Amino acid sequence: MAAALGLNGLIALFVSAILFSIGVIGVLLRRNAIIVFMCIELMLNAANLSLIAFSRMHGIEGQIFVFFVMAVAAAEAAVGLAIIIAIFRHYEVVDLDRFRLLKW
């Protein structure tokens, strides 16, 4: 497989893995809704990167998929920001740890 991918492919894979991890860590560590959301976007794009990388080996499908992912991510962003604004109206903050009406 490595052969099929070629060195750049492998590098791309590793980069995407690293990006994904960074995204995950960001999500886990940050408290600001916006930033957390951006980290998630980062993860999505990491996935896109590896899709592209694989499509070098397997053909076009991966790249098509990337477009879908981007579209969906856009939709998500729209909805997500809307939600964040909605809740901001109530709390005047976007600190995730402050939203604790629902628990236990």
Residues lying near other proteins in the complex (CB under 8 A): 1, 13, 16, 20, 23-24, 27-28, 31, 33, 36-37, 40, 43-44, 46-48, 50-51, 53-54, 57-59, 61-62, 64-65, 68-69, 72, 75-76, 79-80, 82-84, 86-87, 89-91, 96-97, 99-104
* Tokens coding 64: 């098509």
Q: Cβ closer to other proteins: 7 or 100? A: 100
User: CB of residue 100 vs other proteins: minimum separation in angstroms?
Assistant: 4
User: CB of residue 3 vs other proteins: minimum separation in angstroms?
Assistant: 14
CB 55 within 8 A of CB 5: no
* Tokens coding 46: 């990491």
User: CB of residue 63 vs other proteins: minimum separation in angstroms?
Assistant: 11
Contacts 24+ apart (CB under 8 A), 19-23: 19/43, 19/45, 19/46, 19/49, 20/46, 20/47
Maximum pairwise Cα distance, the chain: 55
